[in-house]
Amino acid sequence: MQQRSTASFRERVLAGEPLIGTFLNLGSAVAAEICGRSGFDWLLIDLEHGSGTAADLMPQLHAIEATGAAAVVRVEGPTRTHAARALDPGARGIMFPRIDSADGAHEAISFMRYPPDGVRGVAVQNRSADYGRVPMTGLVDLDDALVGVIQIETLGALRDLDAIAAVDGVDVLFVGPGDLSYALGVPGSFDAPAYRAAIDAVLAATAASGTSAGILVRNAADAAVYLELGFRFVAVGSDSGFLASTASAVVSEARAAARSLTV
């Protein structure tokens, strides 16, 4: 494993450091550990679209922590309960999907913070509070370590970009390419003028607010393009995608070798 930075995950995000991650769709702690040991800065456990369930969350968090990567969880929806069920086991950040407005972003971030700044439920007998070793009076100090990621994937989010970026606790505006392209009426057309204009608007909003621009891309070549544009929180592919593409390539090469024997 490569040597990790000594700065906290959130400090690195707020400093604008280029951070490379990937999505974990398989719900597998083994896959999570393999990806972590590969050197990714952060790994996103996808509870919205991935195959894993809440029961698979803790094993993946254990596996990721052992590698030094940071674990972010995409929750099923922007609700207090969903956020709590990801934070209490020790997620380092939350990605909230389907945010349509600054009010929605403010509410989502409130789920990550203890009172008086938020509405997160107070509990100390969980992993995030070191199973009671963090005193109740010290829980608010945990707020500053958590990374808030708001997905930009709807027309409402695009209309309210600047206000969303200005919400305290929003650290990353993360483009969901598939949903956003569909919302714009150009499904999968990432070179369409409407989509490119949306990308430019996200970059402008993050530059003005001091937040980080994030996006999911298909491969390393695409990552290079978006890093050059100014994106700093970049997810490249997924564990399921790596497995599928590698397996297909191996089968294709093996079958080509087999065919050469029968010609």
Is the Cβ–Cβ distance between 217 and 234 less than 8 Å? yes
Active-site residue, from 49, 62, 82, 106: 49
How far apart are the C-alpha atoms of 58 and 21, rounded to whole Å? 19
Helices 29-37, 57-67: inter-axial angle, 10-degree rounding: 20
Q: How many C-alpha atoms does 14 have within 13 Å on its Cβ side?
A: 13
Exposed/middle/buried for residue 114 (C-beta within 10 Å: 0-12, 13-18, 19+): middle
49: annotated active-site residue: yes
SS3 string, the chain, reads CCCCCCCCHHHHHHCCCCEEEEEECCCCHHHHHHHHHCCCCEEEEECCCCCCCHHHHHHHHHHHHHHCCEEEEECCCCCHHHHHHHHCCCCCEEEECCCCCHHHHHHHHHCCCCCCCCCCCCCCCCHHHHHHCCCHHHHHHHHHHCEEEEEECCHHHHHCHHHHHCCCCCCEEEECHHHHHHHCCCCCCCCCHHHHHHHHHHHHHHHHHCCEEEEEECCHHHHHHHHHHCCCEEEEEEHHHHHHHHHHHHHHHHHHHHHHHHC
**What is the set of active-site residues?**
49
